[in-house]
Structure 1
Amino acid sequence: MKELKSKIEAILFCTPDGVETKKLAKLCGMGSVGHVKTALQEMKEEFEKDGRGMSVVLKEGMWRFAVRDEHVPLVREAAKPEIEKAILETLAFIAYKKNAKQSEVVKVRSNKAYGHIKHLEAQGFVTAKTKGKTRTLTPTKKFYDYFNLREDEEIQPEE
C-alpha cells in the first residue's frame, strides 16, 4: 500500500487538473480501482491528520492536490509568475524572430514593449545590439537554458 500511495502522490503532484480513479489505477499498474480508492481515502485522512499544507480532494470525479484554505493567501503570493504574461509574449516574439528589430517588436506588441524589452534585458533574457538607429534584439543563452531549448531549434507559433 505504501508503494501505491507513493505512486499516486507522484501522479497527483504532476497533474494539477486532476486524474480519474480509473486512470490512476491504470497508471499505477492496478487491475481494479479498489486498492486505489482505499489508498486515496487513506491519503486523504493522513494528510488531514498530519496537518499538511496540501489536501487530497475529489472534485467533479477528478483526484488532485489542493492547498489548504488557510494557506491560499500565502501560496497566492509565492506563486506569482516570474515573468508576466505580456512580457512573456514579447519575449516569445523576439525568440521566434531570433534577431528582431526593436521597431518591429514595438509595432507588433505596442509601445509597452519598450518596458518589456528593458525588463528582459535586465533579467538577461535578451541582448540588444545597436547599429545606426536600429536596435536588434536577440535571445541569450540564459533564455535557451531557462526554457530548455537549443539555440538552433526553430520556435513555431501556436496555431
Structure 2
Amino acid sequence: MPQDEKQKIALIEAALYASGKPLTLKSLASIINEKKLKEVEKLVECLIKRYKEAESSIQIYKLKDGRFMMKLKPEYLLKVKKFCGKKLLSSGPLKTLSFIAYKQPVSKAYVAKVRGKHAYIHIKILKELGFIYEEKMGKTKLLKTTSTFADAFNLDHDIKIMKKQLMKIFSELTQTQLNQREG
C-alpha cells in the first residue's frame, strides 16, 4: 500500500474517532482532499476490514444512509462503561427515551402518565439532543425517535425492526443483570 494511501486512511480513522458521530463520504473526502467519493469509500472499506481482521473492540459501522461511524462493540460496552467520560444521559431520561423508542409513535401525555411528571423535562432534554421529535396530530403531540437516535445506538431506522432490536437488547440486559446479582 502506497504511503499516500496509508496517510489518507490514517486521516479518515482520526476523523471518525474524533467526531464521535456519523460522517458522510463527502466530509471524509474534504479531510483527505479527494474528489472521487468512490475512492474515499474504498479507503474506508480498507479501514473497516483492518478493524475486523484485528478483531478489535472498536468497529466502524456503515449506516444505511451511507455515513460511517466508529463505535465500541456492544459486547465491550458494559465491561468498560465505568471508564467512559460523563454520561450523555442520566437514568431518568434514558428510561424515558427507551420507553418512547419502544412505544413510538406515542403521545406526550401517555409518556408523562407512565413515566411521571419529570417526563416533560426528560422530553425537553431528549429533543435538545436530537434523539426525539414531536409531531402534531390534531390536538395530540406524538413523540418519535430520530435518525440521530438510531445512529447513536446503532439501531435500524425502520421502526418495526428497531422495536425488535430493542426487545432483544432489553432481554439481554435483563439476563445480564440477573447473572450479575447471582454472581
TM-score interval for Structure 1 and Structure 2 normalised by the shorter chain: 0.3 to 0.5
The structure with the largest helix share of the pair is 2
Normalised to the residue count of structure 1, the TM-score between the two structures is 0.48
Normalised to the residue count of structure 2, the TM-score between the two structures is 0.42
Larger radius of gyration: 1
